[in-house]
Amino acid sequence: MSGHQGHRPRGDGPDPAYAIVIPTLGRPSLSVCLRALATGQGPRPRRIVLVDDRRPPGEPSSPADAIPDALRPLVEIVRGRAAGPAAARNTGWTAAPEPWIAFLDDDVVPSPTWAADLAADLAAAGPRTAGIQGRISVPLPQDRRATDWERNTAGLATARWITADMAYRRAGLEAVGGFDERFPRAFREDADLALRIADAGWELTVGRRRTTHPVRPADRWVSVRTQAGNADDVLMNRIHGRDWWERAGAPRGRLPRHLAVTAAAAAGLVCAAAGRRRTAAVTAALWLAGTAEFAVARILPGPRTRDEIATMAASSVLIPPVAAAHWVKGLWTHGFVQRHDGRPRPRQTAAPDRTAFDARA
């Protein structure tokens, strides 16, 4: 993957033909994102495709309510299948014939010069450049230490090829078949696409446009729910081999430790049931030590408030077995997936349903 970042001066050459695709669940943040696009500097997109991926569609807070008047002539809403962001993005880019597709999440805020900087990014793209990443910033509190969830979100600022702000050449998307819809969450579907794009001989670069990704509110169990991504990591191993972590620049995480802690807990329960008290005590001590180490590692960098400490303590007990369960589920689900051989693997999305709303009509 290339890291070339050279650009022509802003304004050099004709305005690029691009579309913006935004999958949305109807969150209030969508209106903030669209207002930023409406008031920003630079050439407007040929179209903005909002993929209504709510389940079921038709709930309150329709995406149509979030569209500023200045963008209504450009916006088209198509209906997704509530099958995850990979499928929603496939629905969106197949509905847009433009040669460049700029993917944005519905909870980001493009900078005031985002469109002008995107135009410069696209103008500088070489003939083999298929993807250009935006620069993500995550604002953190200035008056206290960041919580565990805030620190996790801040990792987006250094993540590679994330579709929170990622522009892809249509020809590149078509060459690899788009996003792989076997990734049902907003996790690893972007890394998978980038690796397949690179394997097909295209280049990926980093642009100069900037986008802010605020930290979303979350309850105390959000870190437990995110462990579902361990099943997606199994799929990544099956498709791309075990070296994909290095090639995608992704952190390895703590899965081996979670498996060890979970194994100690399971062994302790089995030994206790079998009346082997000494062995049960040893394995229980190993479980307790592993769990305590995990909790302390999460508490020390944080604000250390009573609520944060309680959240870290409770979730640190649950995360290892939940992570292990999702890993086992991934092995069961993806055990027979063959490694990527250069041919498109994704499931193909059906023709988009434009009946929901068309602001240009």
Q: What is the pLDDT of residue 336?
A: 67
- pLDDT given for residue 356 in this prediction: 44
Name residues whose C-beta falls within 8 Å of residue 158's C-beta, 6 or more positions apart in sequence: none
Average pLDDT value for the chain:
89
| Tens of pLDDT, residues 224-259 | 999 999 999 999 999 999 899 999 988 888 999 999
pLDDT at 7 over 50: no
Give the mean pLDDT of 258-283: 94
Contact status, residue 316 vs residue 294, Cβ threshold 8 Å:
yes
Whether 339 shows a pLDDT value over 90: the answer reads no
**Res. 342 pLDDT band, cuts 50 70 90:** very low
Q: How many Å apart are CA 125 and CA 5, to the nearest integer?
A: 9
**pLDDT in the model for residue 165:** 98
Interaxial angle between packed helices 277-299 and 306-334, expressed in degrees from 0 to 180 and rounded to the nearest 10: 110
Exposed/middle/buried for 269, CB within 10 Å: 0-12, 13-18, 19+?
A: middle
- What is the structure's pLDDT at 129? 97
> So what's the pLDDT on residue 3?
41
Residue 69: Cβ-neighbour burial (10 angstroms; 0-12, 13-18, 19+): exposed
Range name among 31-45, 93-107, 173-187, 326-340 with the lowest pLDDT average: 326-340
Helix axes 189-199, 85-94, angle to 10 degrees: 50
- What is the reported pLDDT for 62? 80
Question: What are phi and psi for residue 306, nearest 5 degrees?
Answer: -60, -45
From CA 46, how far away is CA 115, in angstroms rounded?
12
In this predicted structure, what is the pLDDT of residue 130?
97
* Angle separating helix axes 229-240 and 189-199, nearest 10 degrees: 10
Residue 26: predicted pLDDT:
85
Identify the CATH assignment for 18-217+345-358 out of 3.20.20.70, 3.40.50.10420, 3.40.50.1400, 3.90.550.10.
3.90.550.10
Quote the pTM value: 0.88
Helix (H, G, I), strand (E, B) or coil at 36: helix
Lowest mean pLDDT among 4-13, 33-42, 283-292: 4-13
Q: Are 194 and 161 in contact (CB under 8 A)?
A: yes
Contact between 211 and 108 under an 8 Å Cβ cutoff? The reply is yes
- Residue 67 has a CB neighbour count (10 Å cut-off) of 22
Strands 165-169 and 100-104: antiparallel
Write out pLDDT tens, residues 20-62.
999 999 889 999 999 999 999 999 999 999 999 987 755 656 8
- What is the spatial distance between Cα 84 and Cα 337, in angstroms, rounded to a whole number? 20
From residue 344, alpha-carbon distances to 97, 119, 172, 309 in Å are: 20, 29, 11, 46
Looking at residue 252, what is its pLDDT?
A: 85
Show the beta-strand stretches assigned E in 7-99: 18-24, 47-52, 75-79
- The domain segmentation of the chain, as residue ranges, is 18-217+345-358
Residue percentage of the chain with pLDDT more than 90: 80
3-state secondary structure of 132: strand
Split at pLDDT 50, 70, 90, the class of 91 is very high
Q: What are 147-205's pLDDT values in tens digits?
A: 999 999 999 999 999 999 999 999 999 999 999 999 999 999 999 999 999 999 999 99
Q: For tokens 């590149």, what's the residue?
A: 172
pLDDT at position 60, please? 58
